[in-house]
């Protein structure tokens, strides 16, 4: 085993496996419950960074008038426009990396869980993956013969092509992306020279469909245990964004139900 694989095992695979062991011991070896709780643990730890990223995106809609003012002021000087726009972002404290942080941190967890599930499916989880202080109660879940229950609500978590999880992840992922677009401004900005900016809402709508379809293909292709992880994290995101954007969401619903009437958004919500 090369040094890269040793580092991956020690930093990524072993910690994820041992967290799963804790939940497996508590809940009678049920892999489905263990994966759901692992997902909630990860998303709970990332809750603040996710909220900060969502607030950054929400703040972008408030910055739009200032950006348009700069575009008018420096329409004949693209370099100056770029400098002033970046200065505005720094002044307002809108760091785009906050929005990416959650995804970047979740990616290793996804890779680690995928690897652990693959080893479980093959019955080849190495004994030395188990931390020494867990061996008194975790030995039953390692080795070729173990007592891990891979059936969850009638779903074989080691099988692939699960249609229920595929449909759920497509719906939830699309809903999640639609929620993040609620606060996007409708007006189109002008490029230097007077040309219209591309319709970002239309582009984001197309991207939402493409991303949701890609997630569906992943869930259908991978083992259902990975699909359960993706469904759980997508559901968590929908709940979090629904709460964070509840004022805007409420206003949009009222606007849909009472067309023609003014919509009031309570900034305290």
Chain segment 215-255, per-residue pLDDT in tens? 999 999 999 999 999 999 999 989 988 887 777 777 777 77
Q: What is the pLDDT of residue 46?
A: 82
Chain segment 149-197, per-residue pLDDT in tens? 999 999 999 999 999 999 999 999 999 888 877 665 555 455 444 555 5
Tokens 């692939």 identify what position?
A: 160
Q: Is 204's pLDDT higher than 70?
A: no
Given a contact cutoff of 8 angstroms between Cβ atoms, the answer to whether 140 and 147 are in contact is yes
Lookup: tokens for 76: 């004949």
Q: Is 267's pLDDT higher than 50?
A: no
Given a contact cutoff of 8 angstroms between Cβ atoms, the answer to whether 55 and 164 are in contact is no
Q: What is the pLDDT of residue 202?
A: 65
For every residue of 163-219, DSSP letters joined together read HHHHHHHHHHHHHHHHHHTTTS-SSPPB-TTSPBPP-HHHHHHHHHHHHHHHHHHHH
Q: What is the pLDDT of residue 57?
A: 53
**Mean pLDDT across 49-57:** 61
Q: Is 66's pLDDT higher than 60?
A: yes
- Of the two residues 220 and 7, the one the predictor is more confident about is 220
Neighbouring-strand partners of residue 151: 156
Phi, psi of 137 (to 5 degrees): -130, -5
CB count in 10 Å sphere of residue 178: 15
pTM of the full structure: 0.76
**Mean pLDDT across 39-62:** 70
Rounded to whole angstroms, the Cα distance separating 242 from 51 reads: 12
Chain segment 70-96, per-residue pLDDT in tens? 777 776 777 777 777 777 666 655 445
4: Cα separation from own chain's centroid: 27
Of 7-16, 44-53, 178-187, 256-265, which range is least confident? 256-265
Rounded to whole angstroms, the Cα distance separating 214 from 87 reads: 36
Lookup: tokens for 191: 């490029």
Q: Is 38's pLDDT higher than 90?
A: yes
Strands 151-152 vs 155-156: parallel, antiparallel or unpaired: antiparallel
Q: Is 123's pLDDT higher than 60?
A: yes
Q: What is the pLDDT of residue 61?
A: 54
């Amino acid at each position: 085993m090369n040094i890269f694989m040793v580092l991956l095992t020690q930093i990524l695979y072993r910690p994820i496996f041992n967290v799963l062991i804790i939940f497996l011991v508590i809940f009678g070896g049920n892999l489905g419950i263990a994966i759901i709780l692992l997902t909630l643990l990860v998303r709970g730890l990332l809750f603040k960074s996710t909220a900060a990223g969502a607030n950054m995106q929400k703040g972008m809609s408030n910055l739009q008038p200032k950006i348009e003012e700069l575009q008018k002021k420096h329409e004949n000087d693209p370099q100056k426009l770029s400098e002033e726009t970046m200065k505005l972002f720094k002044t307002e404290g809108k760091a785009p990396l906050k929005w990416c942080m959650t995804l970047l941190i979740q990616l290793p967890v996804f890779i680690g869980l995928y690897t652990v599930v693959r080893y479980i499916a093959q019955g080849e989880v190495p004994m030395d993956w188990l931390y020494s202080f867990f061996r008194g109660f975790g030995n039953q879940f390692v080795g070729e013969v173990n007592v891990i229950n891979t059936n969850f609500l009638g779903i074989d978590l080691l099988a692939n092509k699960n249609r229920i999880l595929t449909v759920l992840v497509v719906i939830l992922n699309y809903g999640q992306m639609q929620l993040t677009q609620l606060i996007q401004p409708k007006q189109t900005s002008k490029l230097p020279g007077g040309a219209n900016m591309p319709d970002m809402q239309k582009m984001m709508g197309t991207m939402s469909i493409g991303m949701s379809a890609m997630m569906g293909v992943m869930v259908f292709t991978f083992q259902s245990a990975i699909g359960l992880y993706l469904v759980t994290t997508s559901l968590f995101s929908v709940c979090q964004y629904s709460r964070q954007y509840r004022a805007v969401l409420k206003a949009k619903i009222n606007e849909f139900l009472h067309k023609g009437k003014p919509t009031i958004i309570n900034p305290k919500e």
